[in-house]
Amino acid sequence: MTETARLTTRRAEHVGGSPGTLLLEHTVEEEFERAAGLVHTANFIDGMFRFAVEDPGLTPKDRKLHTRIGCRLGPTFDKCDAWTAPLDSGRLIRMVLSCASGAVYYISLRPGETQFGVAREGEPAELGDQQMAWISDRVRALYSLGPENLGGYSTYAPALPDVPEPAPVVFEAPGADARLLDLSRRRVSPLDLHYVSAHRGGEHLFTTDVLADDALGQYFRRVSVAERRKRYEEISLSARQLVRSLSYQLEPVLRGRLDRLVMDVEQGALYYRSLPDGLVLFGVTLRQSSVWDADRRLETIIDEHARDIDEHARDREAGPA
């Protein structure tokens, strides 16, 4: 075990200190120290823990907890990869599980090798997420592999551009929230966020998307627009069950209830968001360069929806004028 002022590196007993291992550990250590977004990150090969770089202030209990969760998320990552494989969007390269008070990350460095991370308490979830992307770029360079732009952080727009026109309504169930549907239509476009659907209790409420837009035609060479829509609906329902099953398991490290799942594939990402009023939003971007932009765009829908709920609550409390 080696220590510096900012980190501790520990290695599994079966892993020797070969030059390759030492170089890999040093590379991860450099990226860990580059920012304060991570409290722990660990390397796995074929699901087996190899080494961790982490805050020296972690208790033995926390270290054991983080290692256990990292091991358990391997099969979850594989499950999500199997869900997204029929989309013909490439392999799953990044998974984020988070809530307002914490986040964990699981990324693919190359087939068979993965990296797990835990966000530092009090820091924005995207900071640790960016650090995981830096680790990916650096480690893949060691293997003479190119960067994969995890999270779209290398290509995001500093300010989101205006959406030119509302997206079409693909499906609307009777009684669907017309205001939320309108909010979603005014955020979905060929620019970044390409698909949004809403569900409550497993019931499909609405879908708005631009998947049939000519600007996105290159993403539908083998899978049709209709097939994509059907698959997204299936994945959103599966993600609902997954989030519910993982909430208790991840609560000690997230310090809250899991409500966000991001599945980042080689071409784009899928976003699952569980809202306090029992509503679920499911978003998609097809473009890897727009992954962080689409994430932020979906967040604007959620923020505005929350403001609408607060305003309606205040109006009810005020009573008739």
Q: What is the per-residue pLDDT for 176?
A: 95
What pLDDT sits at residue 321? 55
**pLDDT given at position 202:** 87
pLDDT of residue 37: 97
Domains and CATH numbers, the chain: 2-152 (3.30.450.30), 169-318 (3.30.450.30)
pLDDT of residue 310: 78
Please tell me the pTM assigned to this model: 0.95
Q: Poorest-confidence range of 36-50, 159-173, 257-271, 302-316?
A: 302-316
- pLDDT at residue 315 is higher than 80: no
Confidence bin at 309 (pLDDT 50/70/90): confident
The predicted structure's pLDDT at residue 3: 44
Mean pLDDT of 101-130: 97
In the chain, what percentage of residues exceed pLDDT 90?
92
Percentage of the residues of the chain whose pLDDT score is greater than 70? 95
The amino acid occupying position 290 is: S
pLDDT at position 2 over 60: no
Question: Is 70 exceeded by the pLDDT of residue 277?
Answer: yes
pLDDT band of 5, cuts 50, 70, 90:
low
pLDDT exceeds 50 at position 4: no
Locate tokens 């990044």: which residue? 94
pLDDT at 250 over 80: yes
